[in-house]
């Protein structure tokens, strides 16, 4: 017969410590990035970067953090729709994003919390270096861009509905 093994308080403590140390490394913990690390840009700077991107093609990528359905209805031309889980911290930076000098995150409007979460996730993934601060937030978002009459595009499938 085998005796049932009981866990000692020391075993439980070791398990707890191991869990606390391991979980942040597998993406289960909240970001350690402070809001102070986020750089914000206004409409005029967003337009300037957009126009420069039209000429140089590696200046800026606009990252739309809204739901795919909203993105399909309309977005800044050339923008890429990404959600926070799309940035996998286990694999480092994505070469497709790495080529851009600026990654500008925007959402629906200034009150969108997912925008700051996306910016923090990109910073945490390594897109901002000690000198190169690539990640920026455009808080005016889609609403300001559209209301101002700036260029927009929509997915064809959204136009057919």
- Residue 49 domain boundaries: 35-159
pLDDT given at position 1: 54
pLDDT given at position 112: 84
Residue that has been written with the tokens 């300001």 in this structure: 144
Q: SS3 of 23, please?
A: helix
Q: Has residue 113 been placed in a domain?
A: yes
Q: What's the structural domain count of the chain?
A: 1
pLDDT given at position 76: 98
Q: Has residue 11 been placed in a domain?
A: no
Model confidence over 22-37: pLDDT tens digits? 443 333 345 678 888 8
Q: Has residue 25 been placed in a domain?
A: no
Q: Which residues of the chain fall short of a pLDDT of 70? A: 1-31, 157-161
How far apart, in Å, do the first and last CA atoms of the chain sit? Answer: 70
CA dist 78 to 12, 69, 107, 109, Å?
52, 16, 15, 19
Q: Has residue 50 been placed in a domain?
A: yes
- Rounded to two decimals, the pTM is 0.77
CATH code, domain with 89? 3.40.250.10
Q: Has residue 90 been placed in a domain?
A: yes
Nearest to 115 by CA among 137, 133, 94: 137
What is the C-alpha to C-alpha distance for residues 5 and 8, in angstroms, rounded to an integer? 9
Q: Has residue 84 been placed in a domain?
A: yes
Q: Has residue 72 been placed in a domain?
A: yes
pLDDT given at position 32: 77
């Amino acid at each position: 017969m085998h005796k049932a093994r009981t866990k000692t308080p020391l075993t439980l403590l070791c398990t707890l410590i191991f869990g606390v140390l391991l979980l942040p490394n597998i993406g289960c913990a909240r970001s350690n990035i402070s809001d102070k690390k986020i750089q914000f840009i206004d409409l005029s700077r967003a337009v300037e970067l957009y126009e420069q991107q039209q000429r140089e093609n590696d200046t800026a990528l606009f990252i739309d953090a809204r739901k795919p359905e909203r993105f399909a209805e309309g977005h800044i031309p050339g923008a890429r729709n990404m959600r926070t889980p799309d940035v996998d911290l286990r694999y480092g930076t994505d070469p497709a994003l790495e080529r851009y000098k600026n990654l500008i995150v925007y959402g629906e409007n200034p009150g969108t919390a997912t925008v700051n979460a996306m910016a923090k996730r990109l910073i945490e993934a390594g897109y901002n270096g000690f000198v190169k601060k690539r990640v920026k937030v455009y808080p005016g978002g889609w609403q300001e861009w559209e209301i101002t009459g700036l260029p927009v595009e929509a997915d064809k499938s959204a136009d057919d509905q």
